Copies of this chain bind each other. A is one copy, B any other.
């Protein structure tokens, strides 16, 4: 086989194609004739195989030259696999143990072979099932703070940060997806949009006529496109997290790009607020989800407070980059100068985070890529009731992000929305 030409794997061809790979053989067992291969990709873009041999199992993830969800009519370059690989390497260094271990990367075949996580499940799935994971709040807060702080000019040698920014600047097709599908399409009648219709039609019309909201969405797009502050995961939703009660792992950073520190955090929290509003759609009979709802709002606060605390800790202990150098502050006895700057930076992250969270809630209900949280609610009336609340909170956050004092206030608003709409 010409190894310089891309060819999609299949469960049938995988053992022959990768059977000579010494790293994989060592990890899962050398007799590739005995490998068992299952295709498990349920995402929108890629092939994902679990390969099990005599000694163990591994994940083989391969990019396709098009968007799997849509088909060959929407080409998407294989190089996204290269960016995913590089993002995983950096995240692994910045928050060790929080991403799958990489065994092998083949750029031409766009294949990443990595650790098979078991018995981990996708976090989104667990939340839909009403399962409260005890550790995710803290783990995800730490992950965000560590990867985002350590990837920025607060920490990196600026020469390396600029070179890395140039490397990831080529991930243009995946940024283009976000630029269109997240920030613009939901706010007009774009071709790829869909929503629960006709139930949501009046609210959708209202949102698409909402000038302040549209302007805010574009302000946030401006930040997305021009605030090259740190290496973001780029697609940090609950479908990109795998969990057990003990462990949390973050996967799928192929949308990685240099962007605002606030972006990943906002995307992540939005998915928890959506899970919160989706719970009533999954309640059955007497088995209420009040505890689950409280757990989700608690988790949002834990993620945020952990993020803030860890970011502040890294600011005070690891601020070795070109920004806010100790030579101007601590080294001159001006501790409070550094604290003042920290307050300003964290406040800015907070305001932006609320904005990104708001528009993420819109695009998941009005755009192309919907969430299983809502999609698995079969009854469209019931689904629309859940989605309506998320849309309203999203608008509230995006437009009022400079006026909302804290996440306690968002909690109160979310709880009020949840109750009133049910009444």
- Using CB atoms and an 8 Å cutoff, list the residues of chain A in contact with chain B: 152-153, 158-159, 162-163, 165-167, 169-170, 172, 175-176, 179-180, 184, 187-188, 208, 211-212, 214-215, 218-219, 221-222, 225-229, 322-325, 327-329, 332, 334, 336-337, 340-341, 344-345
Contact A215–B344 (Cβ < 8 Å): yes
Q: How far is the CA of A100 from the CA of B270 in the complex (A)?
A: 51
Closest residue on chain B to residue A324 by CB atoms: B218
Given the complex, which residues of B lie within 8 Å of A219, measured CB to CB?
341, 344
Say yes or no: A325 contacts B215, CB within 8 Å: no
In whole angstroms, how far apart are the Cα atoms of A336 and B215 in the complex? 10
Q: For A184, what are the chain B residues with a Cβ–Cβ distance below 8 Å?
A: 322, 325, 327-328
The residue that A169 contacts in the complex, of B165, B229, B323, B345, with Cβ under 8 A, is: B165
The residues of B that contact A169 with a CB separation of less than 8 Å are 162-163, 165-166, 169
CA distance A180 to B215 in the complex (A): 36
Whether the Cβ atoms of B214 and A153 lie closer than 8 Å is: no
Most buried by B among A162, A180, A187, A332: A162
Q: How far is the CA of A3 from the CA of B169 in the complex (A)?
A: 33
Query: Given A166-B170, A226-B229, A323-B225, are A341 and B215 also a contact pair (CB < 8 Å)?
Result: yes
Distance to closest chain B CB from A174 (angstroms) = 11
Count of this chain's copies in the oligomeric assembly: 2
Whether B211 lies near A337 (C-beta < 8 A) is yes
A179 touches B158 (CB 8 A): yes
CB neighbours of A337 from chain B (8 A): 211, 214-215
| In the complex, chain B residues whose CB is within 8 Å of the CB of A215 | 324, 337, 340-341, 344
Q: Which residue of B lies closest to A218 (CB)?
A: B324
| CB proximity of A226 to chain B, nearest CB, Å | 4
Q: Which residue of B lies closest to A341 (CB)?
A: B215
Q: Is A227 touching B225 in the complex (CB atoms < 8 A)? A: no
Q: Check if B159 sits within 8 Å of A172, measured CB to CB.
A: yes
Q: Knowing A170-B162, A172-B162, A226-B153 touch, does A188 contact B218 (C-beta < 8 A)? A: no
Which residues of chain B have C-beta atoms less than 8 A from A344's C-beta? 215, 219
Residues of B within 8 A of A180 (CB): 322
A to B CB contacts below 8 Å, 26 in the list: A158-B172, A158-B175, A158-B179, A158-B225, A159-B172, A159-B176, A162-B172, A162-B175, A163-B170, A166-B170, A184-B325, A184-B327, A188-B327, A211-B336, A211-B340, A215-B340, A215-B341, A218-B323, A219-B344, A221-B323, A222-B323, A222-B324, A226-B227, A226-B228, A227-B228, A228-B228
* CB of A75, distance to nearest CB on chain B (Å): 14
Q: Quote the shortest CB–CB distance from A261 to chain B (angstroms).
A: 9
Known contacts A165-B165, A184-B327, A222-B345, then 9 further A-B pairs from the complex at CB < 8 Å, ordered by chain A residue: A158-B175, A162-B169, A163-B170, A180-B322, A215-B324, A215-B340, A215-B344, A219-B344, A226-B229
